[in-house]
Amino acid sequence: MNTLVKLKLLVGTLFIVGCSAVSAHNGLNDLKNCLGLDAPTSLAGADLVFQIEKTTTTLTDGYPYKGVVVKRYKKDGKFTAQGTGTLKGIVPDNQLAFNGTYKYQRTGPNTATEKLINTSVNNTPSTIKYTFETSTSGKWEEDFGNGQLKLSGSFTLEPSNLPAEQHLALAAKADSNVALIIKATKSDLPAGVYPMAGLVLQTYAADGTMVFKGFGPGTVNSTGTYKYTKVSANTAVEEVTQVSEFFTFPYTMVYTFETSSSGKWFQNFGDGLILFSGTFDVFPNK
């Protein structure tokens, strides 16, 4: 056996031993992280929150292009799903619900594929490809109806039926402030006519109204009305009509809570006119 092969075997052995030591001390999840195995072997017993960030389609109307879909995966190969804020306008929840069957397979250490049949929409097939960036989050791409509709975005994975005391997302926004830090923007509008960085302080009242105060180039002070919906243990969707002296536009915001008072946000402003994302902190205003 030549020296190079021996060295490779030695490094591999030391890596596995090191990961085993991590596992013995901290558990299976740390072993998976050490080995780089982020993709789970099964989705049964999990809720996946699909944040819709991009849509390509030949359809003219009635397709999801924003908001989130929360899918609950069962052990019998079936799923139920509920969309929130995915279509234009305010659509009743029962029109955004669907179900079907699925087959999930891990294709690599951090990749997986799901083939599903949407039994609520003419038994339409679709394929979802996952790229896990951590064991509970990553990117997804879906081909619905053999190219009829293509969706993509970010996802998070949560255990189904998580006890309420372990939920991070706020149940309501009334009497709170949210400080939004703008980290990234995307738009076909000319640069300089919309904020590309800065801070927006949003103050929420119990009557469904809110006030915006902007800090930084391109930000504006304004008012609005909101509907806030907690859609999973750690995710909420907010549908807003924002009014300033310059515009009146709707937007859909997705909050992904990483603690009980902070996390990441993604906003589809003006039905795709501008996409914003960043981090947020929540604190009471009384």
For residues 4-13, give the mean pLDDT.
40
The 10s digit of each residue's pLDDT in 148-189 is 999 999 999 999 999 999 999 999 999 999 999 999 999 999
For residues 260-283, give the mean pLDDT.
97
pLDDT of residue 199 exceeding 80, the answer is yes
- What value does the mean pLDDT of the chain take? 89
Q: What pLDDT shows up at residue 36?
A: 58
Phi-psi region of 271 (alpha: psi -120 to 50; beta: other; left: phi over 0): left
pLDDT band at 202 (very low <50, low <70, confident <90, very high): very high
Q: What pLDDT shows up at residue 61?
A: 84
The 10s digit of each residue's pLDDT in 229-270 is 999 999 999 999 999 999 999 999 999 999 999 999 999 999
For residues 12-19, give the mean pLDDT.
39
Amino acid 140 reads W
pLDDT of residue 1 exceeding 60, the answer is no
Q: What pLDDT shows up at residue 198?
A: 96
What is the spatial distance between Cα 145 and Cα 63, in angstroms, rounded to a whole number?
Answer: 12
For residues 12-22, give the mean pLDDT.
39
pLDDT of residue 10 exceeding 60, the answer is no
Contact by Cβ (8 Å): 136, 157: yes
The 10s digit of each residue's pLDDT in 64-105 is 999 999 999 999 999 999 999 999 888 888 889 999 999 999
The 10s digit of each residue's pLDDT in 97-154 is 999 999 999 999 999 999 999 999 999 999 999 999 999 999 999 999 999 999 999 9
Rg (CA), the chain: 21
Q: What pLDDT shows up at residue 25?
A: 35
Name the nearest CA neighbour of 204 among 237, 256, 169, 240.
Answer: 240
- The per-residue b/e assignment along 54-83, b for 16 or more CB within 10 angstroms, e otherwise, is ebebeeeeebbbbbbbbbbbbeeeebebbb
For residues 44-49, give the mean pLDDT.
98
pLDDT of residue 29 exceeding 60, the answer is no
In the beta sheet, which residues pair with residue 130?
112, 140
